[in-house]
Amino acid sequence: MSEKAPGIYKPLAVIVAIIAIALAIWGSVTFAAVSGLIWEKGPAVWSWGAAFLSLGFGFWRVVGGIFWIVGTALFIMELAGFTIRNGRIVRQVIKWDSIDIAIAALVAAIYGGGLVATAGLIVIPGFTWIRPANMLSPVFGILFGIPGCVGLAFGNLIADALGGFLGFGSIGGFIGNFILGYIPYKLMKDPSLRSSRSVFEFYLWGVLVGSVWCSLYIAWWLDLVQAIAGLPPLFIWGWFAPFVMVNNAIVTAIVGPALAYVLYPPVKRWGLHWSDRITFIEKS
Amino acid sequence: MSFEYGLYVPGRSVFHRIDPRAKIIWALTVLAFSIYNGNYVMNPIYGGMIYASVLIALISSKPTSFWYKLFGGLSVAILFFSLLFWPASVPLGGKPLLVIPVLGWKYTDLALRLALSKAFLVLSPIIAIATIFITSRPGDLFQALVKWRFPYRLAYIPILALRFLPTVIVEIRTIIDAQKSRALELEKGSIPSRIRKYVAVFVPLMIRMMKSALELGVALDSKGFGAMKTRTFSKELRWRIYDTLILIMFTALYAVMLIVITRFLAW
Amino acid sequence: MATAIKIEDLWVRYREEEDYAVKGLSLEIGEGEFVLLMGPSGCGKTTLCLTIMGIIPRVIKAEVKGSVRVFDLDPLNASPTEIAKYVTIVFQNPEMQLVTTSVYEEVAFPLENFGLPRDEIKRRVKEVLEVVGLSGLEDRSPASLSGGQKQALAIASVLALRPKIIILDEPTSQLDPQGTKRVTDLILKLRKEFETTILAVEHRIEWAVEYVDRILVMSGGKIVLEGDPKTVFSKEIKPEEAGFRPPQVSEIAYKLVRSGVALPTIPISLNEALNIFRGILDERAASS
């Protein structure tokens, strides 16, 4: 995004928000449809899952594969201490001192504990939740950077354990949730949420791209390790992927920007914001 | 559902007493046999037996009712989903065996076999993994990870998160109660409006917890966390002959069951 | 008596704020002293403590001018591990400082971090738990303890490393009288057994007034009043201005003085007050 007139972001933000919310509503209708057991007659034509499947498994396996490979590469690179900055790979120093450990652990506890304590929104017991705590994921990413993303990854493991599906598939959820925080952290140029451009960036990267990437990442992994995780491809691509995508989009679109807006100043004041805790080593 | 010790539920069962490393290896054994059955043998009776063995492990360690409800509900849900999706995913021949009334779903013997085996493939490993967490103190799991040469700072993140799980849950409940007394009805309204109400819960929680992140970080420093490259453990995990025996016993049990069932109860 | 904390002309200003939170503060605390830091909220108490701990400016970014010494250490430029050997802080809510799931592990944790041998750890844990009065609760989870016990455990867990200075941030604000008594006893024991220097930030005074060596009163980023409790409370202190209440007996005494009763001194503890009032009554009885 170049230096365009700031005025353009306001209508753009509104449009992206409307798209996100529309997708969210479409998605909720789908789940109502599926949980209403109309599957046997074939998925209803207007449903989200049907739209997914109409493109074919092949399409999703290729697209998901690209997201998966890029996502995994980014994850490994970041934890090995490298990052992309201004189009170049540079070294970054995250101290992983006590404060970073504390941030990651508390993010994980809030994410995991939040999912349990707010589990009043279970759609189908035991398996599918609207997860209100998911609203926190892009927010944690843009506030705390890599320690926040690592916290999200571990928090998802705890949430999986408390939801009863901690297994081999959780490895995908681990990195998928890392990415959910990582995308807005890395791609939002203005994380303050105090300009219409910043809000637009939040919707674009934090809500749309983040949700899509995370869900395709996990789905592709589940599909890859099908023999181990034991979930049918029809379920993975026709139900799970759209569900995760829509759940993340709904909860982050509705409240994400407000949360990030409120939390930015105190986090900055206490010196916990990632920009105060990280140094980049750029070779000149 | 207080999660006073994270996921750990104190007790003195057989599983509480074995080394966490042995439990992790046991869970991997369960996973391996489940994969073999779910993909190659596809015998629902064998799958059911592995499932029964992990259920016995879970029940013998006397977890809280939360875990019973969770895995009860989950077992039903996964069986349901498996029966719903697997036959539709893979076109199979075979004799028609079962027709579900009203819904009109038809199952051949092969479809049923596939769906049930796959359901057990999903269920057995997750219950086995949950049993590890229910019967091991977070500190002992941490030690097991460190003994397996995980970097100890990173290995400590999930352990610390488990420690603060009950704190977060108590905080959230306190905030929810406070908001309810101000007439914020979290259980009413459409899903989007319910989600919006959770902002009123998460903002105060986050502000308090983030301030705590600073205090916690300072506390860790005060306790010399990360001061040395290696650390000691005052209660060291010891691998005993007992742990080996239990592992051998379970592996032998799974292998013998596999042979017996595929020989004599082939479906 | 060696100097434990020495601060000279300290100025601290948070980023994005115009005014300084601490303005040219100088201070000296001797080894083994028990000092109470009081003042209204926003007077710079917390900032001062965080600066002594080096958290400002290492974590919380701020402009710091002046010098801080903790024994022979400069906390503004030292690593957290070095600082931990000299000074440690116990925050108001001890819950966030308890990082394990049992009392035993909690006290053993710092010793394990420093790689001490196993037998040594067991011995020290036992010793420390006796000092703080938590023996017999080794297997309990921190969450199941009472407020006073949690506070004691938080202190115990840092005690195992024998820090020379302990900063207590409102140690009694969330405690009932029983819990407060436990903390008071613990502080006295620490001073006696380890000669620990204690700096407590407080709003309440009653629990400590008989034992504290010195009271520092802060306002607007400076120390405005300083001295032993007797001196500090000898002149009337108005709670709404100072941000804390003087001992109740002193408040009664102020009222008596205002209504024209001549008191030899302003009492700060109940026993002292009883003696003074008894003396006055005896005098009156004798004169009439």
pLDDT tens string A93-116: 888 888 999 999 999 998 888 777
Q: What's the token pair of residue C212?
A: 């504290």
**Single-letter residue type at B257:** M
If you write DSSP's letter for every residue of C102-149 in order, what string do you get? SHHHHHHHHHHHTT--HHHHHHHHHHHHHHHT-TT-TTS-GGGS-HHH
| Region of poorest pLDDT, from A119-123, B166-170, C179-183, C237-241 | A119-123
Reply yes or no on whether the pLDDT at A182 is more than 80: yes
Cross-chain Cβ contact C83/B221 below 8 Å: yes
Reply yes or no on whether the pLDDT at B24 is more than 70: yes
Greatest mean pLDDT range, A223-237, B44-58, B225-239: B44-58
Half-sphere exposure of residue B32: CA atoms within 13 angstroms, side-chain side: 10
Distance CA C208, CA C202 (A): 10
Domain count, chain A: 1
Reply yes or no on whether the pLDDT at A38 is more than 50: no
Mean pLDDT of C86-106: 88
Distance CA A126, CA A130 (A): 12
Reply yes or no on whether the pLDDT at B20 is more than 70: yes
Least Cα distance to A145 among A113, A109, A100, A115 occurs for A100
> Which residue among A101, A164, A271 sits closest to B220, beta carbon to beta carbon?
A101
Q: How many C-beta atoms lie closer than 10 Å to residue C178's C-beta?
A: 10
Q: Using pLDDT thresholds of 50, 70 and 90, give the confidence band for residue A123.
A: very low
Reply yes or no on whether the pLDDT at A127 is more than 70: no
Distance CA A229, CA A216 (A): 16
CA distances from B193 to B199, B200, B205 (A): 10, 12, 19
Beta strands in A37-112 (DSSP E): 82-85, 88-94
Q: What's the token pair of residue C228?
A: 């032993």
Element (H, E) at C184: helix C177-194
Q: How far is A98 from chain C (nearest CA, A)?
A: 9
Cross-chain Cβ contact C110/B224 below 8 Å: yes
φ, ψ dihedrals at A171, nearest 5°? -60, -40
> Which residue among A39, A106, A130 sits closest to B164, beta carbon to beta carbon?
A106
Percent of chain B with pLDDT over 70: 89
Least Cα distance to B227 among A127, C113, A55, A222 occurs for C113
- Residue ranges per domain, chain C? 3-246, 247-288
| Region of poorest pLDDT, from A5-9, A231-235, B91-95, C48-52 | A5-9
Q: How many C-beta atoms lie closer than 10 Å to residue C286's C-beta?
A: 7
Give the residue from chain B lying closest to C159, CA to CA.
B223
Pairing of strands C165-169, C197-201: parallel
Cross-chain Cβ contact C84/B222 below 8 Å: yes
For residue C13, the cross-strand partners are C63
Cross-chain Cβ contact A98/C14 below 8 Å: no
Mean pLDDT of B165-191: 77
Distance CA C191, CA B190 (A): 60
A40 touches chain B (CB under 8 A): yes
Reply yes or no on whether the pLDDT at A141 is more than 80: yes
Cβ partners under 8 Å of residue C11, min gap 6 = C20, C22, C23, C24, C25, C63, C64, C65, C66
Q: What's the token pair of residue A57?
A: 């498994």
Q: What is the ipTM of this complex?
A: 0.87
Q: How far is B236 from chain C (nearest CA, A)?
A: 9
Give domain status of residue A159, yes or no: yes
Least Cα distance to C88 among C212, C229, C190, C14 occurs for C190
> Which residue among C88, C101, C113 sits closest to B137, beta carbon to beta carbon?
C101
Percent of chain A with pLDDT over 90: 27
Mean pLDDT of B97-109: 68
| Residue with the larger pLDDT of the pair A21 and A241 | A241
Give domain status of residue A17, yes or no: yes
| Region of poorest pLDDT, from A206-215, C84-93, C174-183 | C174-183
Percent of chain A with pLDDT over 70: 80
Mean pLDDT of B59-66: 88
pLDDT tens string B214-260: 889 988 988 888 878 788 888 888 899 999 999 999 999 999 999 88
Distance CA B241, CA B22 (A): 11
C111 touches chain B (CB under 8 A): yes
Classify C3-246 by CATH class. Answer: alpha beta
Q: How many C-beta atoms lie closer than 10 Å to residue C234's C-beta?
A: 15
Q: Which residue range(s) make up the domain with A51?
A: 8-281
For residue C118, give the 3-state DSSP assignment: helix
Query: Which chains are within 8 Å of A by 3+ CB pairs?
Result: B, C
How much is the pLDDT for A29? 57
How much is the pLDDT for C151? 86
Give domain status of residue A77, yes or no: yes
Reply yes or no on whether the pLDDT at B128 is more than 90: yes
| Region of poorest pLDDT, from A115-119, A169-173, B155-159, B194-198 | A115-119
How much is the pLDDT for C155? 86
Chain B residues with CB-CB distance to A231 below 8 A: 118, 122
Mean pLDDT of B2-28: 89
Least Cα distance to C68 among C165, C205, C148 occurs for C165
Least Cα distance to B69 among A114, A170, A155, A125 occurs for A125
B232 touches chain C (CB under 8 A): yes
Q: Using pLDDT thresholds of 50, 70 and 90, give the confidence band for residue C193.
A: confident
Most B CBs within 10 Å: which of C112, C120, C145, C161, as the mutation test of the B interface?
Answer: C112
